[in-house]
């Protein structure tokens, strides 16, 4: 079983010693995505825009690995402020239709670059 690193210039580069994602035996694991544009600009004007950027990053990483948002089976949301949950949930609903992935949401005291949120996903390629 070979683990493959997922790399794309269409999502922000890793901020440390990790891959944007990995793939093994048809499974795709994204690293946590904070709301950085591919150019490295932090989106922190509001939780909805932050969630949209993080989910766009996840979508691109999955596509690079041959998967899509429809293949996601598990998502974890890390929110700096649980008061942002309704806004994040509204944006989240735009990205996941049909059978919804399992999901966890936790409040955290701090995230890299003092981001408002971080999101990671696990997908199973159907192809």
Question: Is 46 a known active-site residue?
Answer: no
Residues with Cβ within 8 Å of 99's Cβ and at least 6 positions away in sequence, in order, are none
Structure tokens at 36: 């950085």
Which residue, chain included where needed, has tokens 């989910």? Answer: 55
Strands 72-79 and 117-124: antiparallel
Q: Name the residue among 107, 50, 112, 44 with its Cα closest to residue 80.
A: 107
* 3-class state of residue 58 by DSSP: helix
Give the active site residue among 105, 108, 111, 122.
105
Query: Would you please indicate which residues are annotated as catalytic (active-site) residues?
Result: 105
């Amino acid at each position: 079983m070979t683990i493959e690193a997922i790399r794309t210039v269409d999502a922000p580069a890793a901020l440390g010693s990790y891959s944007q994602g990995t793939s093994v035996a048809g499974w795709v694991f994204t690293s946590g995505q904070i709301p950085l544009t591919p150019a490295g600009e932090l989106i922190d004007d509001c939780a909805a825009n932050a969630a949209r950027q993080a989910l766009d990053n996840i979508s691109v990483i999955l596509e690079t690995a041959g998967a899509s948002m429809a293949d996601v089976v598990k998502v974890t949301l890390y929110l700096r402020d649980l008061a942002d949950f309704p806004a994040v949930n509204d944006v989240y609903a735009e990205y996941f239709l049909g059978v919804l992935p399992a999901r966890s949401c936790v409040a955290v005291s701090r995230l890299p670059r003092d981001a408002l949120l971080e999101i990671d996903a696990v997908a199973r390629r159907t192809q």
